[in-house]
């Protein structure tokens, strides 16, 4: 199975000046765990995750003052839609992260998470209903 088969095509893109609270609200409303942060003036595409926001708030930082740019991972590993899920899982394991931005050309076309991969690999997903014959 390929990344394109598992990825979510709901890609939330925010700017570097969004506050952590704004990012959290947008992510919560869409029920997603990561957002792409686009800053063409400095780092291009980065990612901020629910864990980044939790770490900042948990350490006492003000979510209304802290901006996404201060908590964005900019050294990002990107996946291609044609990667296998094994390749994506290996990249996540090696890098110690749970989300990969999926690029096709220069644009983000999806995000694949550990949860997406597990869902595809779970026995319930692979089981097919019996077909009545006859």
Q: What is the pLDDT of residue 122?
A: 86
The ranges assigned to domains in the chain are 1-119
Strands 107-113 and 99-104, by their bridges, are antiparallel
For 1-134, list the strands marked E by DSSP.
13-14, 34-39, 44-49, 78-79, 99-104, 107-113
> What element of type H or E holds 58?
helix 50-58
Q: What is the pLDDT of residue 10?
A: 84
pLDDT digit string (tens) for the chain, length 134 residues: 999 999 999 899 999 999 999 999 999 999 999 999 999 888 889 999 999 999 999 999 999 999 999 999 999 999 999 999 999 999 999 999 999 999 998 789 999 999 999 999 987 655 555 444 44
Q: What is the pLDDT of residue 134?
A: 46
Q: How far apart are CA 68 and CA 24, in angstroms?
A: 10
Residue 2 forms beta bridges with which residues? Answer: 84
Residue 26 forms beta bridges with which residues? Answer: none
Domain 1-119 falls in which CATH fold? CBS-domain (3.10.580)
Q: How far apart are CA 55 and CA 49, in angstroms?
A: 10
């Amino acid at each position: 199975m390929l990344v394109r088969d598992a990825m979510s095509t709901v890609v939330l893109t925010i700017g570097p000046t969004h506050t952590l609270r704004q990012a959290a609200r947008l992510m919560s409303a869409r029920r997603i765990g990561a957002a792409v942060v686009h800053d063409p003036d400095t780092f291009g595409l980065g990612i901020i995750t629910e864990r980044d926001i939790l770490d900042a708030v948990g350490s006492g930082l003000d979510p209304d003052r802290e901006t996404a740019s201060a908590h964005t991972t900019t050294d990002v590993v990107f996946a291609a839609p044609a990667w296998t899920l094994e390749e994506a899982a290996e990249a996540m394991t090696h890098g110690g992260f749970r989300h990969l931005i999926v690029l096709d050309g220069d644009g983000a076309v999806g995000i694949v998470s550990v949860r997406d991969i597990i869902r595809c690999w779970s026995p319930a997903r692979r089981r097919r209903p019996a077909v009545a014959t006859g």
